[in-house]
Amino acid sequence: PPIAPMAARRATDEMRDRVVLGEFGVRNVHTTDFPGNYPGYEDAWDQRRFEEAFRVDVIREEEDTLEFDMVGIDAAIANAFRRILLAEVPTMAVEKVFVYNNTSIVQDEILAHRLGLIPIRADPRLFEYRNQGDQEGTEIDTLQFQLKIKCKRNPQAAKESSDPDELYFNHKVYSKHMTWVPLGNQTDLFPDADFRPVHDDILIALLRPGQEIDVLMHCVKGIGKDHAKFSPVATASYRLLPDITLLQPIEDEAAETLQKCFSPGVIEIQNINGKKVARVANARLDTFSREVFRHEGLKNLVRLARVRNHYIFSVESTGILPPDVLVSEAIKILMGKCQRFLNELDSVSME
């Protein structure tokens, strides 16, 4: 009967397109889209076919977060974008701290480390990398900031007060106290520049009367591979698009139990001829807790899977550059890597 080849074809399609989540373990995890893996499938890579199938959909774009779908791509490429975003898109961060005076209880090296982690709102594309061994920075590769603050008593404070905010002036050192000191001709190079920390309210240290901090900082350009302070993202991650299939109608009490097994909004209950019938409303919202497998009556009625080539990226910027710029920079970096590789291939003479 012709039913067998159809069923086999369906099973193969599932194996190629879906990662299936079982009660114990996950099936079809490995990539199998190379030629000759399945009889009857033309799996040789074809640029035209890739271009037709590939798409990017922006789902949500806010000030510092971006969620977008990349469809029709291989895991290796998706992962390359993720890793480039984390470790290879450059930013400016405090690299050298010159401590002229620090009588606070925060030790010099801890203070330097804290200053390094403050994200600086400065477009890294305007600067060059500093050469190895350069002690002095120049206007093309360094931003200089000063932090000079001293804590004093407030003579007007009430005698019985115990609130440090009333008793002292400048007892909290914030990132807003960092001021940009132009180097060389930077005032002419960046006439409308506003170089400052991304957030004004990052607490750096606490002082008491008589204690002071006087430091000069040099910001340089670097990448996250070198030190995490240069990473432009708070997080960049992706997940595969969830795909939930109900294998037969699920009604009444079973439908309500099913709805409780998934994240809110995934399963909705419709009223059809007086019966409550469950349907999948929005599988994308699910987090795959696999709660449904704990119910004996339901676990064989639902297939949980993920679409193998549909990646949901979420990129959360630290605020130095907008997330959409970060993604396009990551794409440029990957293109540069490919170009370098091709140049290497051209320059190596084939023996």
* Cβ-contact 151, 207 below 8 angstroms: yes
Parts of the chain with a pLDDT under 50? none
Going by C-alpha positions, the residue among 81, 73, 74 that lies closest to residue 54 is: 73
Q: Is 140 left (phi over 0), alpha (psi -120 to 50) or beta?
A: alpha
Going by C-alpha positions, the residue among 154, 176, 179 that lies closest to residue 167 is: 154
CA distance 244 to 266: 9
Annotated domain spans of the chain: 15-89+232-247+301-350, 91-230
Query: At how many degrees (to 10) do helices 323-347 and 75-87 cross?
Result: 110
CA distance 19 to 350: 41
SS3 content of the chain, % helix, strand, coil (to 5): 30, 30, 40
Class of domain 15-89+232-247+301-350: alpha beta
According to the model, what pLDDT value does residue 2 have? 62
60: CB partners within 8 A, 6+ apart = 66, 67
- For the chain, count helices (H), then strands (E): 8, 18
Residue spans of alpha helices (H) in the chain: 3-17, 47-53, 75-87, 108-116, 164-167, 186-189, 252-261, 323-347
According to the model, what pLDDT value does residue 350 have? 67
Supply the DSSP string of 34-90, one letter for each residue.
STTSSTT---S--HHHHHHH-EEEEEEE-SSEEEEEEES--HHHHHHHHHHHHHTS-
**pLDDT tens digits, 138-181:** 999 999 999 999 999 999 999 899 999 999 999 999 999 999 99
Domain 91-230 has CATH 2.40.50.140: no
**pLDDT tens digits, 12-48:** 888 888 999 998 999 888 877 788 888 888 888 889 9
CA distance 260 to 11: 30
